Amino acid sequence: MTHDLHNKIILVTGASRGIGRAVALAAARAGADLIITGRTIGALEELDDEIIAIGGKATIIELDMHDYEAIPRLAAAIHGRWGRLDGFVANAATLGTLTPLSHLDDSVWNDTIAVNLTAQWHLIKAMEPLLLAASAGRAILVSSGVADGIKPFWGPYAISKAGLEAMGRVWAGETEQTNLRINILNPGGTATGMRASAFPGENPDTLPRPADVAPAFLTLLDPACIDHGQRFDARQMLNL
């Protein structure tokens, strides 16, 4: 299925590598104008070069998800330039440490919750008015399979993703009577650097690549998408 995102302004956080990078490229190919954020300017510049090479446009924003005060400044800059935001992909996250809860260092817990949950609330708060200003705003909160069931040793990552899903459902319920459509997407096991850190012995050739799951994001970013407050698994959507 093809998706037309021409003249759509789409923000992708954590776009410097992995799934965020693949989603930004796929959205650019579909005609969107990208706002790409990350902590590594060099990687964002390389992505920008690729987006330009395929005829797209991107605005690079260096953003550390711990810097909560920078998030409303980003929203103000988007408002000043475009007045709206057509799509938002909340992709930036950190894995933390895989260890028993009772062995966790305080700093690991605080950092993982800060990035994966608290920063996402700050983004929702800042970006909601811009998404509502669009004719068909679309938001995707990127979750994980570890948000479900019993996942020993996944500690703050699993807990933060479960919290993110709960927050997404609350947000969707609050915006049900608007043109904004909010959904949660689990990419599933994908050959990324984060996955390799979690499963160092796994053969990445057995997994879908980020570009393989990116089309699922385009489906939920498409103005034609009417789903709201739902949780999707990318690999099921795409039969991967």
Q: Is-catalytic flag, 68?
A: no
Strands (E), the chain: 9-12, 33-38, 57-62, 87-90, 138-142, 181-186, 231-233
Contacts of 149 (CB under 8 A, 6+ apart): none
List 157, 171, 217, 232, catalytic entry: 157
Q: Locate tokens 């997407």: which residue?
A: 185
**Angular region, 225: left φ>0, alpha ψ -120 to 50, beta rest:** beta
Task: Print the SS3 string covering 33-82.
Answer: EEEEEECCHHHHHHHHHHHHHCCCEEEEEECCCCCCCHHHHHHHHHHHHC
Catalytic residue numbers read: 157
